[in-house]
Amino acid sequence: MYTVRLQGLPRWLRFGRIALAFGLPALVAGCDIEWGGASVHLEDPSPPPPEVPAEELAAERVELPLPSGPLLWLVRSTGPGGDALAMPVARFEDGVPMDLEYPDPPPEEYRARFDSAFAVEGSELVLGASGIRLGSLVLGGDARVLDSGCPSAVPARGIVLPGTTLPEIFFAVGPGPAFGEIGSPRPVEVDNRMRTFGPILAEQLLRQGGEDRPFLAQRADMVAVYWPGDTRPAMAATYLINDAVDGAGPGGSATSLFFLARFGSAGYAADWSEMRTYSGAGESREIFTWVGAAPSPEGRLDFAARRDGPARRLVASIDTEEARRGIVWTEGARCPSLELLETTSRAGAAPQVTSEVPAEVPASAN
């Protein structure tokens, strides 16, 4: 009795073993052979495909969650009649702005889900400027992708009381329930009192911050700020030593000072200040200039632009009962909303407004 097994044949006999397997019945029919069975193995010479870890497969199937709660929107005027362009820049958590956490790049369909949740045509947001609610911002029109890794910008229209003038930059909160009564801020301008107190306060703050040459500070920016309930407007100012708001940067050591000051019984006192000392030898610059204010669920939000040369990012501080205010939120560097909206608005009819004033050497505080 013969037992035939086909197994372990050489590589060059791959096709031969197939033919042999089909020819065995004829061989057996002509011989007195008892069939003992055969094992035929057809092997693929290519390497097996790599296995995808189970956690990666699960991650692909899970949709990224959308932000919860109302969003904070930066809004720029694009023309007369309240026409504007709005972009979400943060989300609120317990009344404090937080990182929007917009993914870069956004996964497939994430932008569509985000816009469907927050940028629906006809959505009404709370429109705010000067720290108060001015009216409503109604979203309308197709969302625009200004940058593939950033949230969409949405055309909108501001609805305010008759006689209210919208600033070039303002803010909106929502979608969500409205809060705060609608008001209209009175116009305010930089006056001689601000020009007098500004350099004195700047020198005091610079000395308190350890600057040994405060007398060299020069005013780079000053803005009168409407503050509800105060008899006189507040002022926001930027003073610099050995630097300028625009330009390539300092050649040596430099200092920047920003403050937002309110008027009281003893004159102007700083409500929010930021001082930075840096070098021109490759270190990042930090120059702050005031942008605007908006109402929030927890109080007044004041915004400044953090400048590092031509780059600008929003920062925010909340006016609370605490004695010391500081930065509570900084916009991510990936999606600078000020620059994105400004580039788009320049193609339209949006006016360009500057608040810079001639340089000034502060008087001594002594």
Any idea which residue has 């909160």 for tokens?
A: 173
Domains of the chain, residue spans: 1-46, 69-174, 192-342
Give the lowest-confidence range in 35-44, 240-249, 250-259: 35-44
Q: What is the pLDDT of residues 177-186, one digit of tens each?
A: 777 788 888 8
Query: In which region does residue 60 sit, left (phi positive, over 0), alpha (psi from -120 to 50) or beta (all else)?
Result: alpha
Q: Which residues pair with 221 in a beta bridge?
A: 238
DSSP string for residues in 185-249: PPP----HHHHHHHHHHHHHHHHHTT-S-GGG-EEEEEEEE--TT-SS-EEEEEEEES--SSSS-
Report CA torsion sign: 278, 279, 285, 290. positive
When comparing pLDDT for 266 and 257, which is higher? 257
Average pLDDT score, the chain: 81
How deeply is 158 buried, as exposed, middle or buried, from its count of CB atoms within 10 A (0-12, 13-18, 19+)? buried
Q: Pairing between strand 71-77 and 169-174?
A: antiparallel
How many C-beta atoms lie closer than 10 Å to residue 183's C-beta?
18
Distance CA 136, CA 134 (A): 7
Residues 6+ apart with CB under 8 A from 294: 72, 128, 129, 131, 170, 171, 172, 173, 300, 301, 303
Band of residue 7 on the pLDDT scale cut at 50, 70, 90: very low
When comparing pLDDT for 159 and 13, which is higher? 159
Instruction: Judge contact between 314 and 299, C-beta under 8 A.
Output: no
Distance CA 186, CA 192 (A): 18
The rounded percent of the chain whose pLDDT value lies above 70 is 76
Band of residue 15 on the pLDDT scale cut at 50, 70, 90: very low
Q: What is the pLDDT of residues 71-130, one digit of tens each?
A: 999 999 998 888 999 999 999 998 899 999 999 888 889 999 999 999 999 999 999 999
Structure-block tokens of residue 125:
């947001």
* pLDDT of 46: 59
When comparing pLDDT for 216 and 184, which is higher? 216
Distance CA 318, CA 34 (A): 94
Phi/psi for 214 (5° steps) reads: -65, -25
For the cut 90, the answer to whether the pLDDT of residue 188 exceeds it is yes
* pLDDT of 151: 95
For the cut 60, the answer to whether the pLDDT of residue 139 exceeds it is yes
* pLDDT of 248: 78
Distance CA 272, CA 201 (A): 12
Q: Give pTM, 2 decimals.
A: 0.77
For the cut 50, the answer to whether the pLDDT of residue 16 exceeds it is no
Structure-block tokens of residue 301:
């939000």
Instruction: Judge contact between 38 and 4, C-beta under 8 A.
Output: yes
Structure-block tokens of residue 121:
């045509």
Band of residue 198 on the pLDDT scale cut at 50, 70, 90: very high
* pLDDT of 316: 96
